[in-house]
């Protein structure tokens, strides 16, 4: 069974620090990787997508992909209390053809302390 693994946390960082969130996946041929942010009681919101090995930066967020090691990470620079949320890693389900099905990790809860 294809899996996406995340440490559930909570990951606690002080305001202004770098938060590092990690995700590993089991399907070696996965091609599309996503990070979603979910505030308590709200729906998941897409914040980053990455498809190629290396880094992709968007503002304070950097997604890193290493297909050889089968992990994807999300770095949040200058963490703010408003970044406190659960971060979900999602990977495309290759065996499903072109259905766009994603496999989600259970999420890592981030707490940014003022």
Partner 1 sequence: DAGITQSPRHKVTETGTPVTLRCHQTENHRYMYWYRQDPGHGLRLIHYSYGVKDTDKGEVSDGYSVSRSKTEDFLLTLESATSSQTSVYFCATRGGLAQYFGPGTRLTVL
SS3 sequence of the chain: CCCEEECCCCEEEECCCCEEEEEEECCCCCCCEEEEEECCCCCCEEEEEECCCEEEEECCEEEEEECCCCEEEEEECCCCHHHCEEEEEEEECHHHCCCCCEEECCCEEEEEEC
Give whichever of 4 and 19 is closer to partner 1, judged by the CB atom.
4
Nearer to partner 1, 79 or 109 (CB): 109
CB of 83 to partner 1, least distance (A): 19
Nearer to partner 1, 34 or 83 (CB): 34
Which residues sit at the interface with partner 1, rule CB under 8 A? 32, 34, 36, 42-46, 49, 51, 88, 90, 92, 99-102, 104-107
């Amino acid at each position: 069974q294809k899996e996406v693994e995340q440490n559930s946390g909570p990951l606690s960082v002080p305001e202004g620090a770098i938060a590092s969130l990690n995700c590993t996946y089991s399907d070696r041929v996965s091609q599309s990787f996503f990070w979603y942010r979910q505030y308590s009681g709200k729906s998941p919101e897409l914040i980053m997508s990455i498809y190629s090995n290396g880094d992709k930066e968007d503002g304070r967020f950097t997604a890193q992909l290493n297909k050889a090691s089968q992990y994807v990470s999300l770095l949040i620079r200058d963490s703010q209390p408003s970044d406190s949320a659960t971060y979900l890693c999602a990977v495309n389900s290759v065996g499903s053809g072109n259905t766009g099905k994603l496999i989600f990790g259970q999420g890592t809860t981030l707490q940014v302390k003022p």
